[in-house]
Amino acid sequence: MCGQGVECSVAETSLCTKWKNMCNRRLEHVEDFEMMSETASAEQVDRWSRMAEKADNTRLIDVTAMDIYNVALPTGWFRLFRKDEN
């Protein structure tokens, strides 16, 4: 079952699983963004917000607009800065 009591195909199950995982981790991601925002300048936060808004507005026309969310950090790097793990 994939939410709302609807049967899902294999591809849909994968998508449903990803959606469920994202929903379950939403608070964690919001906290991470807030922590990054605390250490960034107002200009950086404003720039990130504008980039995200532009990506969201153009993603149906140009899927590469979403590439701004592909962040490559060294493994374990961000964990060093997580409040709940220190």
pTM: 0.50
Asked if 74 and 82 count as a contact pair (C-beta separation under 8 A), the reply is no
Render pLDDT for 30-82 as a digit per residue (tens, 0 to 9): 887 788 778 888 898 899 889 999 999 998 999 899 888 887 666 665 566 55
Which residues 6+ apart lie within 8 Å of 65 measured at CB?
Answer: 54, 55, 58, 59
